[in-house]
A and B are shown apart, each in its own frame.
Chain A
């Protein structure tokens, strides 16, 4: 068996864990007209849904009971519960959510898209994928 090169799984898990383990997280929603994405270093209110219709600026709290996991050399993490807004009326169509860490001065962890969505006096929920090395919301492979 030959030697192989690569970043170790435990290093990836440590890196991901430093970002998410035990952190206080929030999820903010953005208008389809916004330009929010991975180049945003921190939470931004630019392009966010207006603070109307039961939407609070900064978004909703994210339940974070999962620590960064590791399978083989892939580290992964997923919020431990659905993120939802009740009795919501969006100020416009939204297609993006930013999950960010208020513990780390609002560091942007990732932005995730879900197609143009309008909510009127209703519920908007984001159910998370299975938390494993194949489908976890954030994976370092």
Chain B
């Protein structure tokens, strides 16, 4: 039976998850969606862990054009 507090890796090493506040934000644009996950130390409010996940919706297109002779 696990009775140890779950830990998470941060700039301060492995710390109990319960000592942190998690915040998730989203950015939705025509070309990508980005989810940012931040963990703040409850004591001093410093960001101790931050991850970002980008989903590209559409890449780059090179068009070819035909001109009349």
Contacts and interface: CB of A to CB of B under 8 A. Distances in A.
Instruction: Please determine whether chains A and B interact with each other in the same assembly.
Output: yes
A129 B36 CA distance: 19
A65 interface: no
Contacts of B11: 89, 120-121
Interface string A126-137: 111100001111
A118 interface: yes
B16 to A, nearest CB: 15
Given A139-B62, A141-B61, A141-B62, A128 B51 contact: no
B59 A138 contact: yes
B17 interface: no
Interface string B12-56: 000000000000000101011010110000000001111111111
Contacts, number: 93
B66 A122 contact: no
Contacts of B32: 114-115
Contact of B50 (A6, A112, A120, A125): A120
Contact of A112 (B29, B59, B61): B59
Contacts of A138: 59-60, 62
Contact of A127 (B9, B36, B50, B55): B55
A124 B53 CA distance: 6
A111 B1 CA distance: 50
Nearest to B66: A5
B64 interface: yes
Enumerate the 9 nearest inter-chain pairs by beta-carbon distance, A residue then B residue, closest first.
A122-B51, A137-B59, A120-B50, A123-B51, A139-B61, A5-B66, A129-B56, A7-B64, A135-B58
Given A122-B51, A138-B62, 5 more contacts: A113-B31, A114-B54, A119-B50, A127-B53, A135-B58
7 contacts: A5-B66, A78-B59, A117-B52, A123-B52, A126-B56, A127-B56, A138-B60
